[in-house]
Amino acid sequence: MSGELIVVIEDEPDLREIVAYNLEREGFRVQTAADGRQGLELVRRLRPELVVLDLMLPGLDGIEICRALVSDPATRTSRIVMLTAKSDESDVVLGLGLGADDYVTKPFGTKELIARVRAVLRRGPRRDANEPGAERLVREGVVIDPDRHEVTVDGEPVHFTAAELRLLHHLAAQPGRVFTRAQLIPRISGEDAVVTERTVDAHVRALRKKLGRWRELIETVRGVGYRFRDRRR
């Protein structure tokens, strides 16, 4: 049982249920959404390993969702398998061009869908050259290594939660850049909890405490948000 989280966005109730049921039976964790907006919200909040995305949806269609997911650093690591009708061929091309990973044409067998899902998941999270996600950063006495999930302060390992590490790394990757609290919310969401701007403040307080004598590396920009100190300024 692999247990990866999959979000299924499909407006047809029967199909949604069949897909969810079969994925769950394969050991995946599944959350479903019946329309585009709800689906987008769910992916942003849960950050699943993979999204099964119907292209023909009421409201926000699959292509718009695909574009939104791939362009947002908070969601672009989620893999995408599109569900399409035969008549959607041009949308399939568009979706793949945007960064969707694969597609299955309706009507499809559940075995086929699961085979595609497994194949796409084997590629691991999507990495983007512009995304500083996995880069090891050295800032003064602080070393942040996201791949090893490790932070050291003056050479001593300090435990950071996954959300704290993502937030610290995001700030430290772009010293001097000011982030609003709203911009930082996607960095710390993903653990199912609802994240507000106050949660961002709480996380920053936790970061500073753990950074000890380097706490001032994270500067408060009054009335705006936070930035990582830029030594060159």
**Residues engaged in binding Ca ion (CB under 5 A):** 11, 54, 56
Of 30 and 52, which CB lies nearer to Ca ion in the complex structure?
52
- Min dist CB 94 to Ca ion, Å, is 16
Of all residues in the shown chain, the one whose CB is closest to Ca ion is 56
- φ and ψ at 150, to 5 degrees? -140, 135
35 vs 145, beta carbon nearer Ca ion = 35
If the CB atoms of residues 86 and 231 are measured against Ca ion, the closer one turns out to be 86
Q: Nearest distance from residue 56's CB to Ca ion, in Å?
A: 4
In angstroms, what is the minimal distance from the CB of 16 to Ca ion?
Answer: 9
Helices (H), the chain: 13-25, 36-46, 62-71, 89-98, 110-121, 162-173, 181-188, 197-211
DSSP state of 6: E
Nearest to 99 by CA among 76, 130, 75, 115: 76
Our CB check for Ca ion shows the closer of 94 and 143 to be 94
For 149, which DSSP code?
T
Give me 153's structure tokens. Answer: 């302060």
- The smaller minimum CB distance to Ca ion, of residues 56 and 70, is found at 56
- The minimum distance between CB 58 and Ca ion, in angstroms, equals 8
- Are 50 and 72 in contact by the 8 Å Cβ rule? The answer is no
d(Cα 155, Cα 178) in Å, to the nearest integer? 28
* Smallest separation (angstroms) from Ca ion to the CB of 105: 13
